[in-house]
Amino acid sequence: MTPEQQTAGKTAVSKQGGRQIHIVREFDAPRDRVYEAFTRADLIEQWWGPRGTTMTVDKLEARTGGDWRFVIKSSDGTETGFRGTFREVTPPERIVWTFEWDGMPGYVSVDSSEFEDLGDRTRVITTSSFLFEEERDGMIASGMESGLSGSYERLDELLAEQA
């Protein structure tokens, strides 16, 4: 098994410095397709959020200066929103956006995602930067790692269906 195959399907989440979360995930799909899954509302609605939930993209202006808002609805009807603004959109290489979870209002991170072309595979490297270490630790304590891993598993399935 190659090193790439060993890391496929696994999301590595770690603290970096005093205020950052570093996330690395490889997908078994070309960079253009992975990037598109991060920037098209109809695709985001199919993979973003935990299993058993419904995702609605209220707004998605995937361009520098554009706004976004996603809402996840659980089976019991509970809704959780996320929102932000795109600071940089460079297809198919990079996205930088602000991220605010309704569960932690006023705590805004800046997420920078790099889409590394590995041929038929793509490595997505995301760095989430927070103003304070406590904000970063609060995000980790919120269960973001398991939520993100579950979403990425769903993205793996979507990319496999599209192949």
**Burial, 59: exposed, middle or buried (Cβ in 10 Å; 0-12, 13-18, 19+)?**
exposed
| pLDDT at res. 8 | 55
| pLDDT at res. 9 | 63
48 DSSP assignment: S
pLDDT, block means (10 residues), the chain with 163 residues: 49 93 97 98 96 95 98 95 97 97 87 97 98 90 88 97 91
Task: Map out the domains of the chain with their CATH numbers.
Answer: 13-162 (3.30.530.20)
